[in-house]
Amino acid sequence: MQYRAGEEEQQAQSKKALKKQQKEAEKAAKKAEKQAKLAAEQQEADEDDFAKDRYGICPMVQSQQKLDRALVRVQDLTPEKAEQQIWVRARIHTSRAKGKQCFLVLRHQQFTVQALLAVGDRASKQMVKFAANLTKESIIDVEAVVKKVEQKIESCSQQDVELHVERIFVISQSEARLPLQLEDAVRPEGEGDEEGRATVNQDTRLDNRVIDLRTTTSQAIFRLQSGVCQLFRDTLINKGFVEIQTPKIISAASEGGANVFTVSYFKTSAYLAQSPQLYKQMCICADFDKVFCVGPVFRAEDSNTHRHLTEFVGLDIEMAFNYHYHEVIDSITDTMVQIFKGLRDRFQTEIQMVNKQYPSEPFKFLEPTLRLEYKEAVAMLKAAGVEMGDEEDLSTPNEKLLGRLVKDKYDTDFYVLDKYPLAVRPFYTMPDPNNPKYSNSYDMFMRGEEILSGAQRVHDAQLLTERAMHHGIDLEKIKAYIDSFRYGAPPHAGGGIGLERVTMLYLGLHNVRQTSMFPRDPKRLTP
């Protein structure tokens, strides 16, 4: 009996297995049928796809061939080009399919243009579908006819034309998931919150800087910054200055003090230069008369503020003068005024672009530049209710307040503060000949924030030694510096400007990281 029951169970099991096999066979047959059908459809589609040579993904460009094909820049797409057939290379900024049409916005640098694909004698259904499925930020080549539009395209920089696409080829495909959306990254502050739309926080931007730098705002900021450097160089070269290059690895801290980075240097230690100070002065002692340099400056300050970086670009100036250090102040302020004028006249597009996301008042300056004495500034602050001593250094809030007071009284965002108390300046600062409590030193301010610190330097070895001892500096460590002045040194003065700060304050931005391409601060060493 038992044996029979076991047999029945076995039979039931084999029936089950058989059924399972049958089901799987049916499933496989269905799958094969479906695949065959898809392949047939694809083949049919390929055969039907009269436009299949007009689109696709190009093989990787490995410089296989030299194409005699001129590419037109997006910014040059104007009504003058209407009805011309052209090639353009750009990124896909946005795309949306609508029935038998696909609208693309193509972007190159800070410029955008609308492009249209429509099913017709030039584009097949498959071609439109291909275009609609391309990932944002992919780089494509398109052949298109430039068409004038009746109604301005408000969402693009090229508002008077659109492209009617006839060919479209992918040069470099972007991954579908972007770490941040460009439209979120350019949304004006506050606007996103009201409409519940996303905005991108600073760390996300800086972690994905390559994409953040593609935004119209970033493109404008760094093009304008490049303009600051060019205007600085051109103006000084016209004034007879010589550009110099100075070492960044040095044997002793250039400014004295603890805020210096130590690096290992073979069997000993060296430091990263906090300023090209010593070398600028050596060049003056070597009869170059007027020098400037543009290069990195390192500060090991653990300051996590909106305006401090541990590495920034210094625009440094040093010049010999005849009888009074105000000759140098005049040279520097005139250089700054030439920069401000050049930015105003040549970079309006960029200024407007940044203003869209970060609105601010246009930057105001006077000619000649306003120069106030430190005592006057203290009097203005005291009159405004600030309690401070005559020889006390300005705190950041007081600098800001002074900026507002000066703007109200003189209507300028740029001014010089002259004759600082000697006690708050470095050892190499020349004391004021008429009042030993003050010095021949000055700061320059933009929108109430300091952008330049400078002074007449002590050019006499004896006085320099005394000043260094007064500051408790180890003379052995600055021997080379002091020795530079033993063989006849012209009277000279200079100063150092922070490029990122100038860019930030000119544009009225609120964080120096926005104007540093790959910022370095105490918490950030990448990318």
Q: Which residues participate in catalysis according to the annotation?
A: 299, 301, 307-308, 450, 453, 501
- State which H helix or E strand residue 18 sits in: helix 2-48
Integer Cα distance of 74 and 170 in angstroms: 17
How large is the C-alpha radius of gyration of the chain? 33
Q: Which residues pair with 115 in a beta bridge?
A: 104, 163
What are the contacts of 199-206 at 24+ separation with CB within 8 A? 202/511, 202/513, 204/179, 204/180, 205/180, 206/513, 206/519, 206/524, 206/527
Integer Cα distance of 449 and 452 in angstroms: 9
Integer Cα distance of 128 and 104 in angstroms: 11
Tokens matching residue 123: 């584009």
| Pair 239, 290: CB distance under 8 Å | yes
Integer Cα distance of 482 and 259 in angstroms: 22
Integer Cα distance of 417 and 122 in angstroms: 68
Burial code (b: 16+ CB inside 10 Å, e: under 16) for 230-263 equals: ebbeebbeeeebeebebebebebbbebeeebeee
Q: 311-320 and 370-373 as β-strands: parallel, antiparallel, unpaired?
A: unpaired
Nearest to 206 by CA among 518, 512, 501, 503: 518
Q: 311-320 and 290-298 as β-strands: parallel, antiparallel, unpaired?
A: antiparallel
Eight-class DSSP state of 124:
-
| Pair 194, 165: CB distance under 8 Å | no
Q: Which residues pair with 428 in a beta bridge?
A: none
Burial (CB < 10 A; 0-12, 13-18, 19+), residue 115, is buried
Tokens matching residue 306: 């909106």
Integer Cα distance of 158 and 454 in angstroms: 45
Give the angle 154-160-162 at the CA atoms, nearest 5°.
90
CB atoms within 10 A of CB 393: 14
Whether the ω angle into residue 527 lies within 30 degrees of 0, i.e. cis, is: yes
Nearest to 235 by CA among 350, 340, 348, 313: 340
